[in-house]
Structure 1
């Protein structure tokens, strides 16, 4: 019985040994295939990376050809390829090149724009000044409004806005700036000629920093060693109220000066007005920011100072104009 029982136990244990003996080889075979597949994957990816490098190197010499060929290869990008060669991009590139010489264009278009004479009829024999009224005043206002000098609606009344429009027109044409529409001013208005470009004097191109202020162009330019750095629109003296509240002309002086002081928080006791970022070149005349200019534009005028309508522009000129810099007003 003992031998028989032992035989039975051996027969029962024998399959267990055979099962354990078979599994180890299966476990050893299973890991080998996954190890070979990751090795094969990196070997295929390296050749793929060098392939785009030559293709990106070739488009660099001819950037326009590469996008066109790649776009025409597929059916969908063909409209993109046709859109690129169109005249849209060439035309945008050309205006950018021509927009840089803006000063030359502005100077040439101003005299050329108004070519047709204006019929002023019997008005040429009249002399119009402040407080005048009638059809000839309205005719002059309409002409000045067409030249973008008159601020407001033509109403036939010669007020402050009309006077300053006449002053600015006279300065732009080299006519005596007295705010009176006499024979010389009527002749200029009747000719249809608009504001002219006034050439800066040679003194504006002196060495160092120079502020060049043009009453005819209504501009202020900062130059360094003869090279223009920044130009802005400004307002000069004109028809405005005096200490008694009456309208009269306060002209801006012409000539050459030097900056003798600067005051970022200047205040006028006489006119009870703040004058931020004042650049002082004359005891009674500064370059400074003007809230009135920012609000009313050229309908009003200064009491002789050079007004700047933008606070940031006023600060820029204040920061970039040293004491001792030259100032030329013409």
Structure 2
């Protein structure tokens, strides 16, 4: 028998083998001639042949140009802040507020009196009583309870009332009953005379009345103590450590109870109560009183 040849297989044999491998692997292949010899060319002196996998076959014909890729859609610009947000409506203009005086205040009071929100003769002065009347009018009409007369409040009032007559603006004087006599304990010395009956604080020196202001007391659960006391100490910008609330112009007379200004009393009147202190709602009056009162002055709380 002739001896088996050890010469490398011919290119035809290699191609045939590659075709079989390609079919067996289930993928396409391409023949690449390597002049330097492939990994199977042990001598490295012949023209090597290696099989490399071809890229995935394209279903499109070879002579058809590839479809041009579409440019990415340009995202629509986000709406600017000014396009999405509407400007806030302008705040109503304030026409009258506490401390104002004149004919317009008198007309305001007369119109409020027509609809039973002001129960006294017009004075022409915008004080705490007028502020309370405006506040209750605003609350009943669903307006912000500011106690000040702004354009919205004024227009609403004009629509509900008639132009006041001269008699309504300046009604005939009515003799007022004399105020009740102060407690006899208030008639000597420097005294903060505080009446629970009239809900008033009267600042007196040797029986002479120097000023009077509205006050509010504690609730039934935290009542204001009654009796004779002395101003123990003063604190202009005091803040309660127990309730964490401001107590400006505080004048302490019995433990933690003091005479002081109350913003809540100024805004809501007698609908609320203190935690035992004597609340004052007129800030100007309590500020003036604070400067006059001395440590050691007498305090009388009575019915």
Tell me if both proteins adopt one fold, taking TM over 0.5 as the criterion.
Answer: no
Pick the structure with greater CA Rg. 2
Greater strand content? 2
**Superposition TM-score, scaled by structure 2 size:** 0.40
